[in-house]
Amino acid sequence: MHKRWENPVSTAAGPQAPVPAAFQIGGVTLSPATVLAPMAGVTDTVFRRFIRNLGGCGLIMTEFTSADGIVCSQRVRGRYLHFYDDEHPISAQIFGSEPVVLSDAARMIEDLGFDLVDLNLGCPAKRVVKCNGGSGLLRDLPRIGEIFRAVRAAVRIPFTVKFRAGWNDNEIVCVDLARLAEDCGLQAVALHARTREQGYGGTAQWGWIAEVKNAVRIPVIGNGDIRTPQDGCAMIARTGCDAVMIGRAAASNPWIFRQIAQHAATGAYDEASERDRYDMIHTYFQMLIEEQMPGAAGKMKQFASWFTHGVRNGSALRKAVYEAREEREILDRVDQFFTAALNEQPILA
């Protein structure tokens, strides 16, 4: 899935307010008020537990998963809905366009022990949109209402929705959609403050989050362009949202949740050292190997481009990782690189 992982636009200037220590979705208390966004190809059980263990994240979410796949395939359920006890509280995100199928999938999610279920109305990928899933439904509010009512009637756990502001700048539906969600009994909404047409480019328009917050009484989670702890505090101050959701920044800086908690408590936060980065990469890669994740070597190479952000001579480390073939060889090359770097020896070329 293509994403622009770097966006130079700053959002942190201006007033700031601490990210709340906790917030409530239905009967589930989430502390602190920070959420790991669901990301395809990223937020599997290894990454979720990795983020949880670093501290500071109030809610973690699965990769978005096809409701049809959940209902029809044990393999899909095993791959995308597997989680461990130490991941609570955890939400499962689903996508689709058929109310009956989505409600059946939501029941299965509840039976598996998830704390919440979330509907994806934000994914801009063409393959999802052409099936009327994700942001493809933003042009059909009546169908969304049918889905909301069917899923709400099917489960007892909190039901939430993540959506974009609209299809494009001329079709902004975020306020109407949020009100519809509240009227149908959903317990929270999360807005990625971009349109489907924007994809992951341009700048998130936080004003849309403020409009949604002013329109509904249920909790509102803001998402879009939070790259630093200051950004999280700026979003709270400008929009009044109840919590912040972080996606892309968590892949290059998985400490961001802990840093937000530190910043809220003290006004300052710890920057990652070279040793921290080594421990982070080694730990995550070791977890992938121990979990025997399918395609672990490919995932290591994928994450190397994000995890090496801020590493001195990171291009040499990325080259070493990309040229390795097996999981253990990749981990050995990471160890060799950082052993040399931390002892100020010549860097592995």
In tens, the pLDDT along 6-54 reads 444 455 556 788 899 999 999 999 999 999 999 998 999 999 999 999 9
pLDDT at 326: 93
d(CA 278, CA 254): 13
pLDDT at 345: 53
Is 123 among the residues known to form the active site?
Answer: yes
Structural domain boundaries in the chain: 23-266, 274-342
Mean pLDDT score of the chain: 91
Q: Are the CB atoms for 162 and 123 separated by under 8 Å?
A: no
Residue among 222, 214, 143 nearest 184 (CA): 143
| Options 3.40.50.1860, 3.10.180.10, 3.40.50.720, 3.20.20.70; CATH of 23-266 | 3.20.20.70
pLDDT at 3: 39
Q: Which residue has the higher pLDDT, 309 or 285?
A: 285
Which pLDDT band, with edges at 50, 70 and 90, does 309 fall under? confident
d(CA 98, CA 81): 20
* pLDDT tens for each residue of 220-231: 999 999 999 999
Give the Cβ contact number of residue 5 at 10 Å: 13
- The pair of structure tokens assigned to 87 is 């991941």
pLDDT at 12: 57
Selecting among 57, 72, 123, 174, the annotated active-site residue is 123
Residue among 129, 189, 145 nearest 163 (CA): 189
> Per residue in 255-283, is it b (16+ CB within 10 Å) or e — as a string?
bbbbbbbbbbeeeebeebeeeebbebbee
pLDDT at 41: 87
* pLDDT tens for each residue of 72-93: 999 999 999 999 999 999 999 9
Instruction: Please state the pTM of the whole predicted model.
Output: 0.91
Write the CA distances from 230 to 9, 11, 13, 235, 247, integer angstroms: 14, 8, 8, 9, 16
